[in-house]
Structure 1
Amino acid sequence: MISTLQPDKMGSYAPEDVMFLLRDISNVFLEMDNEKREQLIQKGTHYSEMLPMEYQPSKTYMDLFYKTLDTYAERIAIAVGVVAEQIIQNRGLDNLILVSLARAGTPIGILIKRYIQMRYKVNVPHYSISILRGRGFDETAIRYMLAQHPQGCLQFIDGWTGKGAITKELLHSCQKFNTQHQVQLNANLAVLADPGHCAAIYGTREDFLIPSACLNSTVSGLVSRTVLNLQFMDEEDFHGAKYYKELEKIDVSNLYIESIVTCFENVQSEIIRQLQELPNSPITWEGMKSVQRIQQDFGIDNIHFIKPGVGETTRVLLRRIPWKILVNPQYIHDLEHILLLAREKNVLIEQYSDMSYACCGLIKEL
Structure 2
Amino acid sequence: MLTFEHITLGQRVLFGTGQAATNLAAEVERLDARRVMVIAAPFEAEIAKKVTEKIEIALNHDEVVMHVPLEVAERARAAALTHEADLLVCVGGGSTTGLAKAIAMTSGLPIIAVPTTYAGSEATNVWGLTEASRKSTGVDDRVLPVTVIYDAELTLSLPVEMSVASGLNGMAHCIDSLWGPRVDPINSALAAEGIRALAAGLPAIVAEPQGLAGREQALYGAYLSAVAFASAGSGMHHKICHVLGGTFNLPHAETHATVLPYVLAFNAAAAPEAEVRIAAAFGSRTALEGLQELRERLDAPKALADYGFTADGIAEAAAVLLPLIPASNPRQVTEENLTRLLQAALRGEDPAVASEMVLEGESR
TM > 0.5: no
Task: Give me the TM-score of the superposition, normalised by structure 2.
Answer: 0.35
Task: Give me the TM-score of the superposition, normalised by structure 1.
Answer: 0.35
Higher helix fraction (1 or 2): 2
Q: Which of 1 and 2 has higher RCO (CA within 8 Å, sep 6+)?
A: 1
